[in-house]
């Protein structure tokens, strides 16, 4: 059972950012060390990738463990389980579709889990560097 009211939970969920999260800001700061020009959250591309290296046709997504259903770190909510199961499943399906469409259009797609960025930021940046 949820320990806050529905109104309070709604306000909490509304405050969750879709872009410009702390992990994204940290990742972008590290990506700037690559010395390649990039743009963020490009709405011209399907899925609005978090980082886009247009000239090299490389897109990067920063996937949070909760919202994108990390098999290791996604903590399932204890209330409203069916809603959250369906929501996260839809997010995972959308992620696959977006990646497939971008690859079809000859983009290189890189996805990094939040926990990977937290544990090995340098390794993630090195992977991008190899693709560029």
Structural domains of the chain ordered from first start: 17-131 (3.40.960.10)
Produce one character per residue of 42-74: b if its CB has 16 or more CB atoms within 10 Å, e if not: eeebbbbbbbbbeeeebbbbbbbbbbbbbeeeb
pLDDT value at 78 more than 80: no
Write down the pTM of the prediction: 0.82
pLDDT of residue 91: 92
Mean pLDDT of the chain: 88
Q: Residue 13 — pLDDT band, cuts 50, 70, 90?
A: low
pLDDT value at 100 more than 80: yes
β-strand pairing of 39-40 with 51-53 = antiparallel
């Amino acid at each position: 059972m949820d320990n806050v009211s529905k109104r309070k939970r709604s306000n909490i969920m509304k405050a969750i950012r879709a872009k410009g999260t702390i992990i994204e800001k940290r990742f972008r700061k590290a990506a700037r060390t690559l010395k390649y020009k990039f743009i963020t959250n490009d709405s011209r591309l399907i899925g609005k990738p978090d980082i886009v290296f247009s000239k090299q046709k490389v897109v990067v997504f920063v996937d949070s463990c909760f919202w994108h259903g990390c098999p290791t770190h996604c903590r399932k909510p204890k209330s409203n389980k069916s809603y959250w199961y369906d929501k996260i499943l839809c997010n995972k399906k959308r992620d696959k579709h977006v990646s497939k469409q971008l690859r079809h259009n000859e983009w290189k797609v890189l996805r990094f889990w939040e926990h990977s960025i937290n544990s090995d930021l340098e390794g993630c940046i090195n992977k991008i560097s190899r693709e560029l």
